[in-house]
């Protein structure tokens, strides 16, 4: 009889343990992801668009420096350079566009803080101090106009905080990679009416290949960027002023991985040396003011 009572007690405790586990699971809250894919703040679950939202902290954790580093992070999305420094090639749902012409218009729209960048040239500059990136797959012409046939990539930069503070990051890597980022928040001032943020970043990296014609390092990149953001709250009216400037100097990527001997008799199998009488040097400057 004693053994029977112990067995019944164990059976009675099991449902209580299951009840406690179920209660803990019900108390768990799924974080709400807010996006502005339809030009207003909405929960990601309420937006009827095929969209992927990437948080800025996730970009930092993955070491992403520009849009090309995000290739493959969203389904059916590929982003790469077009054998020309700082010229982007997008492919979304199989719709691709590749033309290094500065006047060419891509089939994928790119917007930074609501301001469209309508040319493929200059789209792979340093993406720093980013709050999130939204990748919208499928035609978006209704909201964002022409040249959004394949989809739209939206970059949203960080806004000033309510309190004084800042952050600094520095990283080293192979191929002489050096990355630095600095951001400072003033906090609210003038009776809480204004908030400001100043941020800057630099990325320096050596080349991956050597041009034996002139000993230049192909793929070398030096990038600088600075951004100033001012938020104003006038009660019935909110305003944001963003001013930024970016500059990137690049030595072009190689067109092949072999050395063509001067007499044209054979190919040298060194995969890290090329021979061209030009480097495909590229330099791009971008300046933007975006009141909203």
Span 40-82, pLDDT tens digits:
777 777 777 788 888 888 888 888 888 888 777 778 888 887 7
How large is the average pLDDT for residues 129-144?
87
Q: Between residues 181 and 247, which one has the greater pLDDT? A: 181
Instruction: Look at residue 99 and tell me whether its pLDDT is greater than 80.
Output: no
Q: What is the pLDDT of residue 265?
A: 44
Span 179-216, pLDDT tens digits:
999 999 999 998 889 999 999 999 998 887 777 777 77
Confidence grade of residue 255 (pLDDT, cut at 50, 70, 90)? low
Q: What is the pLDDT of residue 5?
A: 46
Architecture of the domain delimited by 34-157: Beta Complex (2.170)
Instruction: Look at residue 274 and tell me whether its pLDDT is greater than 70.
Output: no
Give the CA distances from residue 122 to residues 88, 110, 112, 249, in Å, rounded to whole numbers and listed in that order. Answer: 8, 11, 13, 11
CA distance 211 to 217: 6
Span 18-43, pLDDT tens digits:
544 545 554 555 566 777 767 677 77
* Domain boundaries for CATH 2.170.130.10 within the chain: 34-157
How large is the average pLDDT for residues 93-116?
81
CA distance 226 to 286: 11
């Amino acid at each position: 009889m004693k053994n029977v009572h112990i067995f019944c007690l164990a059976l009675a405790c099991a449902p209580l343990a299951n009840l406690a586990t179920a209660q803990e699971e019900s108390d768990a809250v799924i974080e709400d992801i807010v996006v502005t894919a339809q030009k207003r703040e909405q929960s990601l679950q309420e937006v009827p668009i095929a969209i992927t939202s990437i948080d800025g902290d996730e970009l930092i954790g993955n070491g992403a420096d520009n849009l090309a580093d995000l290739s493959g992070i969203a389904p059916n999305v590929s982003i790469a350079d077009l054998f020309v420094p700082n010229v982007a090639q997008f492919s979304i749902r199989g719709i691709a566009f590749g033309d290094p012409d500065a006047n060419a218009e891509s089939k994928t729209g790119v917007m930074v803080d609501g301001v469209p960048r309508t040319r493929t040239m200059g789209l792979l500059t340093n993406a720093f101090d980013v709050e999130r990136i939204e990748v919208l797959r499928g035609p978006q012409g209704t909201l964002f106009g022409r040249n959004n046939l394949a989809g739209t990539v939206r970059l949203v930069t960080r806004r000033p905080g309510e309190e004084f503070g800042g952050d600094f990051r520095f990283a080293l890597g192979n191929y002489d990679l050096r990355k630095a980022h600095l951001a400072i928040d003033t906090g609210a001032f003038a009776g809480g009416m204004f908030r400001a943020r100043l941020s800057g970043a630099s990325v320096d990296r050596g080349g991956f290949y050597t041009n034996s014609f002139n000993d230049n390092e192909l793929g070398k990149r030096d990038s600088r960027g600075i951004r100033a953001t001012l938020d104003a709250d006038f009660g019935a009216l909110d305003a944001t002023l963003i001013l930024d400037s970016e500059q990137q100097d690049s030595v072009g990527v190689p067109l092949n991985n072999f050395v063509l001997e001067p007499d044209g008799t054979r190919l040298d199998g060194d995969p890290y040396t090329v021979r061209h009488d030009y480097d495909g040097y590229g330099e791009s400057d971008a300046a933007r003011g975006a009141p909203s």
